[in-house]
């Protein structure tokens, strides 16, 4: 390939620890390794120390990131289209974040293809999103639920199922005895509350309402009432206070969990250190009301640590392959319709709190051997179905084929090109400007 394919991406900042950011990074690095691609990224959704464009250390000129508040805007996209002349535009996360971008479809698609990685939606079928799906040359889907939604709502749109992947070389079972980094992390995290005999539940999510951050603490307190407050600990890798979530410290105080029953890890950590946390835990919990995929529980399984999940969205694909289970999957007790003026309806799959408490007790009562068996079966499932090799190959094949079929700029296909006819001295002169 004589010229590298340049891709403009819009998503969470690809160097941030969010699931969206992490998967964006994985996709970009997989394509960069081919030597046939280069990237310009608009990185949003997180706080930034600087808004200056930066070159990534490893990839130099081949990957430049523009930090922004939110997810960018029309003027920024127009500017980068003009100065960078990308061959395609790739964007990711909830479709409702991109109303302003889809309004630019008639400006963008005559020049280059638009690729949307659809990471979250839920039943009932969101027919109101049809116009969004149809504004793309390709919709890649993150879960079987999302894939079904796109194929049903917009059957004429080209789509491709590409689930998240986990780096199983980093997220793997570890031998922690004698590991100095692990020992230092324990001292930092537990301090005076260090107790190697306590059962550990791990929760790694944003402090957001649909993630059930406060409810998890409440249900954990009920679980402790059954087994004893000195028998288990909940570690939450999240912000204690978040504008979109709850004051978790206040909840802990109100419930009387002030003796190290619930501890927090708020500092952003490397994937390697996060893998230590999964290995330290006996079980990872994700009981969100709605979840596009749920990367944390997949990482947990890759580390050999079993999971408790709400069987909603992409989470239902993780806890079982239909025959083998890798933890405890909870059936939603009820469905609630939520929405707004722009989102008429969407389900939230809500759990019964007693079911969550029972699931904690079930996992706690298991033998260590049984939990290990569940976790290792889950790891094999992750390696078979959510591995890097397949993830990278699918993205390379998909985007390369799209570029060949659709072209960009002078080679753009299946689009209406503008023609200006200028009449001078009775002679017609045609000039293509499309």
Q: Give per-residue pLDDT as tens, 91-116.
A: 998 888 888 999 999 999 999 999 99
Identify whether 424 is part of a domain.
Answer: no
pLDDT tens for residues 16-57?
877 788 889 989 999 999 999 999 999 987 777 788 899 998
pLDDT tens for residues 77-94?
999 999 999 999 999 988
Q: pLDDT-based confidence at 244, cuts 50/70/90?
A: confident
- One domain, residues 262 and 251: yes
pLDDT at position 421 is 56
pLDDT tens for residues 257-287?
989 999 998 888 888 999 999 999 999 999 9
Q: pLDDT-based confidence at 430, cuts 50/70/90?
A: very low
Cα torsion through 264, 266, 272, 275, rounded to 10: 30
- Residue 60 structural domain: 5-165+388-411
Task: Choose between 422 and 398: higher pLDDT.
Answer: 398
Task: Choose between 172 and 15: higher pLDDT.
Answer: 172
Task: Choose between 182 and 144: higher pLDDT.
Answer: 144
- One domain, residues 239 and 360: yes
Distance CA 140, CA 118 (A): 6
pLDDT tens for residues 363-419?
999 999 999 999 999 999 999 999 989 999 999 999 999 999 999 999 998 655 544
pLDDT at position 71 is 87
Q: pLDDT-based confidence at 429, cuts 50/70/90?
A: very low
Identify whether 428 is part of a domain.
Answer: no
* Lowest-pLDDT range of 160-164, 208-212, 327-331, 408-412: 208-212
- One domain, residues 355 and 398: no
Checking if the pLDDT of 1 tops 50, the result is no
Q: For tokens 């094999």, what's the residue?
A: 380
- One domain, residues 21 and 158: yes
Average pLDDT, the chain: 89
Q: pLDDT-based confidence at 162, cuts 50/70/90?
A: very high
- One domain, residues 373 and 401: no
- One domain, residues 393 and 364: no
Rounded percentage of the chain residues whose pLDDT exceeds 90: 65
Identify whether 426 is part of a domain.
Answer: no
Identify whether 381 is part of a domain.
Answer: yes
Distance CA 352, CA 343 (A): 26
| Closest of 133, 137, 99 to residue 402, by C-alpha | 137
Distance CA 249, CA 257 (A): 9
Contacts of residue 268, defined as CB under 8 A and 6 or more positions apart, other chains included, come to 16, 17
- One domain, residues 378 and 397: no
pLDDT tens for residues 169-198?
999 999 888 788 888 878 777 877 878 889
- One domain, residues 120 and 191: no
Question: What is the average pLDDT across 326-349?
Answer: 89
- The beta strands (E) that lie in 88-188 are given as 88-92, 114-118, 138-141, 159-161
- One domain, residues 122 and 139: yes
- One domain, residues 376 and 395: no
Q: pLDDT-based confidence at 431, cuts 50/70/90?
A: very low
- One domain, residues 330 and 205: yes
Identify whether 153 is part of a domain.
Answer: yes
| Closest of 156, 177, 379, 163 to residue 284, by C-alpha | 379
CATH (domain of 204): 3.40.50.2000
Identify whether 433 is part of a domain.
Answer: no
pLDDT at position 322 is 82
| Closest of 238, 303, 297, 298 to residue 276, by C-alpha | 303
Number of domains the chain is built from = 2
Identify whether 172 is part of a domain.
Answer: no
Q: Using omega within 30 degrees of 0 as the cis cutoff, is the peptide bond preceding 28 cis? A: no
Identify whether 170 is part of a domain.
Answer: no
pLDDT at position 424 is 61
**pTM score, two decimals?**
0.86
- One domain, residues 398 and 329: no
Checking if the pLDDT of 428 tops 50, the result is no
pLDDT at position 343 is 80
Q: pLDDT-based confidence at 423, cuts 50/70/90?
A: low
């Amino acid at each position: 390939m004589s010229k590298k394919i340049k891709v403009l991406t819009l998503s969470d900042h690809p160097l941030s620890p969010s699931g969206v950011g992490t998967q964006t990074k994985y996709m970009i690095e997989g394509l960069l390794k081919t030597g046939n691609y280069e990237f310009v990224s608009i990185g949003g959704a997180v706080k930034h120390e600087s808004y200056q464009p930066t070159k990534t250390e490893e990839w130099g000129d081949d990957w430049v990131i523009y930090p922004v508040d939110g997810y960018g805007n029309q003027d920024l996209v127009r500017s980068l289209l003009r100065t960078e002349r990308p061959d395609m535009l790739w964007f990711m996360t909830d479709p409702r974040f991109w109303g302003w971008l889809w309004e630019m479809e008639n400006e963008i698609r005559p020049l280059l293809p638009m690729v949307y990685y659809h990471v979250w939606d839920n039943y009932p079928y969101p027919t109101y999103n049809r116009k969004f799906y149809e504004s793309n040359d390709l919709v890649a889907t993150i879960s079987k639920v999302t894939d079904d939604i796109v194929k049903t709502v917009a059957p004429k749109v080209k789509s491709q199922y590409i689930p998240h992947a986990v780096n199983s070389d980093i997220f793997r079972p570890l031998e922690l005895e004698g590991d100095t980094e692990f020992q230092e992390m324990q001292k930092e995290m537990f301090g005076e509350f260090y107790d190697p005999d306590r059962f550990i539940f791990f929760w790694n999510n944003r402090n957001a309402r649909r993630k059930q951050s406060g409810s998890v603490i409440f249900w954990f307190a009920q679980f402790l009432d059954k087994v004893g407050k000195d028998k288990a600990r909940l570690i939450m890798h999240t912000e204690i206070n978040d504008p979109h979530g709850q004051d978790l410290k206040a909840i802990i105080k109100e419930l009387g969990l002030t003796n190290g029953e619930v501890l927090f890890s708020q500092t952003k950590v490397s994937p390697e250190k996060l893998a230590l946390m999964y290995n330290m835990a006996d079980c990872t919990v994700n009981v969100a009301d709605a979840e596009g995929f749920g990367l944390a529980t997949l990482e947990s399984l890759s580390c050999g640590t079993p999971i408790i999940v709400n069987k909603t969205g992409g989470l239902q694909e993780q806890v079982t392959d239909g025959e083998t289970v890798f933890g405890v999957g909870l059936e939603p007790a009820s469905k609630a319709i939520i929405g707004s003026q722009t989102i008429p309806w969407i389900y939230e799959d809500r759990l019964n709190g007693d079911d969550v408490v029972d699931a904690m007790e079930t996992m706690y009562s298991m033998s260590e051997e049984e939990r290990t068996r569940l976790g290792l079966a889950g790891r094999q499932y992750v390696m078979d179905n959510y591995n890097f090799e397949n993830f990278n190959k699918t993205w390379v094949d998909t985007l390369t084929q799209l570029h060949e079929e659709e072209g960009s700029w002078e080679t753009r296909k299946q689009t209406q090109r503008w023609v200006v006819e200028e009449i001078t001295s009775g002679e017609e002169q045609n000039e293509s400007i499309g």
